[in-house]
Chains A and B, each alone.
Chain A
Amino acid sequence: MRAFIGFVALSLIAVGLALALYHIPFGQDRMDVARDYLARSVRDTGAPNVVTGIVVNYRALDTLGEVTVLFSASLGVGMLMTWRSPGGGRPLPGASLIVRRGAGFLFPFILLFGGYIFVHGHLTPGGGFQGGAVIASAFLLLYLGIPGYLLARRPLAAIESLTGITFVAIGIIGLAVGGYFLNNFLPKGSVFSLFSAGVIPILYMVIGLKVGAELAGVVANMIGGGEE
């Protein structure tokens, strides 16, 4: 009976979605907002990567909300899973020599790549979230490769808090200088150069470090090791 009700409910939802989406032609550009962004973004923001221009300039407030959501998720994991779980979970078995050496060898390169992604977020694909995830995966590799690896909690928490404060501070400076929150108050420079697009690279560095610290903290909390 429950399966039948579930089937009927799912069918109703499917029919509703099909009716709603039926008139939208697939793959055609019907979004005036998107066309407007594509036409104006590079001139307005100075960032050749339009996605970055939208995420960190036009919709920077939403990005602040997104970072806050990630922070809440990280906080929730931290409250559920204690950093050092007493007796909880078996210790990770020792990895093989190849994995140990490979993790140690690859770690700095992965960190560098993550940093590259978010520093060049306004020029090339990727940005703070992608770079932060890559940095967190570097720490995950250390956890997998080095048995008994401990991630220090205090520097991680410090990075997380400082970057959050910096994000809001940049927004408030923009409010003071230009009249609205997260205003792009720095000069835009020449398009395609590293130091261009005003506050976008700074904001993306801040986001990258924050996301990296948060995701590494989630992994550390899940594994349950770490120094006090």
Chain B
Amino acid sequence: MSLLEVKELTKSYNGTLAVDHVSFTLEERTATALIGPNGSGKTTTLSMIAGLLKESEGSIHRDFKSGIGFLPQYPQFFPWLSALEFTEMAAQISGVDGKKVRQQSIRTLEFVGLGSAVNKKTGTFSGGMRQRLGLAQAIVHQPKLLLLDEPVSALDPTGRREIMDLLKSLQQDATILYSTHILNDAEEMTDQLLFLKEGKLVEQGSLSEVKSRYAEPQIRLLFETEQAAVLFESRKLWPMQRDRNVIALPISYEGPSMQQVMAVLAKEESGIAGIDKQSASLEEIFLKVAGKK
């Protein structure tokens, strides 16, 4: 069942289209990664769904009454408020029952790893702590839809891992739409990929669907020496590409199967040191889609 339906969403600034007729749906309890190069319209799209920007055209249909949780790319807090005061304020504005506000705020801050900093002023927070607090204020009212703009881009690897683990655990109760340019993260937590380029949605589907559209699986042969690789290449058994002592054989209609390659290599002293099968990474797909006219 779809939780959010975006139809022909468009945003123009003085005739320049920042988001150009984008349509997609979000199913309940799924994670959707919004990826694309800088300036492709990711933040504008999220801002329109969050209600911070008014769409120029199109519609956003939400099939739920509870609020949205929104985490901007660089969350800013009132520096004179403590983490608990800010989270409580966020909970109260979002309609959390007055009696539950304190308890729910403390529990949320503990959940994001700020249990020991509840009474610290936000003005003293580090980048990682701000991001955690940003997440806390976004989830304190237990929204059905979480919109996260680059939730981990400002964090170090440890912080990123922790926040990604938190987000994965949230997926059990909420639908998550997040933008990112860290493709490993997108690969790690996504049921649907939305690829924006120059404001247009140019790719859409599950990770495996997108990969299958762009993937060019290869068999990679690692030879002990470059001469051995040159010798194997000179036999011109199949279409192949050589990079020093590594040969890549595209698995396509004309290409070989793994069994065929293994059979050839087993017959003779080929100087083979290793063999593996690779499919295109999301980064390769990103570069292809970003470069596609």
Whether chains A and B associate is: no
Show the binding face of B for A, using Cβ within 8 Å.
none
Show the binding face of A for B, using Cβ within 8 Å.
none
